[in-house]
C-alpha cells in the first residue's frame, strides 16, 4: 500500500524552516526539481489499497539520491537521516515521523531495480537538471557492502599461532621453525 504523508505541520516543521538555509544545496535541488513525474512513476511500485502502508516512495527515492551524493551506505544513510536537519527537510519528514531503517532502504532499492525504474528515474532527474543548465556527475545506485579483505596478520596475531611453525632468526639467518 502506498504510504501516507502528513497534512498538518508540526512545531518542529516550523522551527526547522529557520535552521536550514534556503540556500543549502538540498533545498535548492528541492526547489529546482519537479517531483511530480517521479511520484507518478513511483506510484506503480505499490498497490494503492493492498498491503501494509509503505514509506512514501518519493521520499525513499530521495534517500537513494542522498546516498549517491554523500557516498553513504544504507546504515550510514539511516543514521544521517536521524541526525541531519537538512536531510530531514529534504525528505519532507518531521522529527515526529518514523524514519526508514537500513533494511527498508535496501529493500526499496532492490524493488526499484526489479521493476526497472532505477535507470529511468535517474535519467529523468538528470534531464531536469540539464534543462536548467546544471550537471551532476554520473553515478549509479549501488549498495555498499563491507567484505573481509585478505590482509597481512598483525604481529600479535602471528604470535598467537603455532610457534613451532613460525620463522625464526638464528645467528643472522632466517630458518623455518620446523
The residue ranges of every structural domain in the chain are 11-131
Grid-cell match 525504474, residue found: 117
Give me the phi and psi of 172, to 5 degrees please: 85, -5
Report which of 141, 70, 75 is spatially closest to residue 104, judged by C-alpha positions: 75
Mean pLDDT of all residues belonging to the chain: 78
Residue 106: which residues within 8 A CB-CB, separation 6 or more?
74, 143
pLDDT tens sequence across 146-160: 344 454 555 655 555
Instruction: Return the higher-pLDDT residue of 94 and 149.
Output: 94
Instruction: Return the higher-pLDDT residue of 101 and 52.
Output: 101
Q: What is the dihedral of CA 164, 170, 174, 176, to 10 degrees?
A: -20
Share of the chain above pLDDT 70, in %: 67
Amino acid at each position: 500500500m502506498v504510504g501516507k504523508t502528513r497534512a498538518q505541520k508540526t512545531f518542529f516543521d516550523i522551527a526547522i524552516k529557520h535552521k536550514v538555509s534556503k540556500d543549502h544545496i538540498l533545498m535548492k535541488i528541492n526547489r529546482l526539481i519537479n517531483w511530480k513525474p517521479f511520484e507518478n512513476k513511483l506510484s506503480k511500485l505499490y498497490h494503492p489499497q493492498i498491503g501494509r502502508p509503505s514509506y512514501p516512495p518519493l521520499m525513499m527515492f530521495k534517500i537513494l539520491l542522498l546516498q549517491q551524493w554523500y557516498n553513504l551506505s544504507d546504515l550510514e544513510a539511516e543514521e544521517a537521516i536521524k541526525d541531519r536537519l537538512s536531510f530531514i527537510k529534504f525528505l519532507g519528514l518531521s522529527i515526529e515521523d518514523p524514519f526508514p531503517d537500513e533494511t527498508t532502504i535496501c529493500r526499496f532499492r532492490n524493488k526499484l531495480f526489479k521493476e526497472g525504474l532505477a535507470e529511468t528515474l535517474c535519467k529523468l532527474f538528470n534531464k531536469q537538471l540539464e534543462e536548467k543548465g546544471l550537471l551532476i556527475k554520473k553515478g549509479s545506485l549501488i549498495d555498499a557492502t563491507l567484505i573481509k579483505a585478505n590482509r597481512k596478520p598483525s604481529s600479535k596475531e602471528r604470535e598467537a599461532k603455532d610457534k613451532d611453525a613460525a620463522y625464526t632468526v638464528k645467528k643472522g639467518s632466517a630458518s623455518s621453525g620446523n
